[in-house]
Amino acid sequence: MQTHVYIVLGGKDGRVLDSEHRELAGAIKVLLELTKRAKRLAIEIIPNSDETLDRAIRHRGSVIVFLTRHMIQKAREIKEKHPDIKVVVFTILMPRDEITIIGRIGLSKESLEHIILGV
């Protein structure tokens, strides 16, 4: 079974440039493509969360990856309505009252595989 991973570019936080989001999304994609499970992954970089959600609903067991903490509320809404979709939020500033929010500093292919794919 193929796992669909959708990396969302939308959700700017005002401090990060569009080019930085594109660079981070590309780096995540490349690192995931180096994992042991790469052959079973379909990884896409998507411009906005609405388009992403439509795609994720069609593919059971999908993963949606947001690149900014400003998408936490959207991530919660998606997870509440679609519990079979895994939702990951990368952020530089770690909220103290949250759980399962992963900082994007010090990522490796092993950590991405664990965080996104649950290995």
State pLDDT tens for residues 7-66.
998 765 556 667 788 899 999 999 999 988 999 999 999 988 778 888 999 998 899 999
What contacts 89, CB < 8 A, 6 or more positions away?
65, 66, 68, 69, 71, 72, 75, 101, 102
Higher pLDDT, 72 or 117: 72
Contact 52, 15 (CB under 8 A): no
pLDDT in tens, 63-92: 999 998 888 899 999 999 999 999 998 876
Domain map (residue ranges) of the chain: 3-117
Contact 41, 5 (CB under 8 A): yes
> What CATH number is given for 3-117 in this structure?
3.40.50.2300
Sign of CA dihedral 24, 25, 26, 28: positive
pLDDT in tens, 91-107: 766 566 665 555 566 67
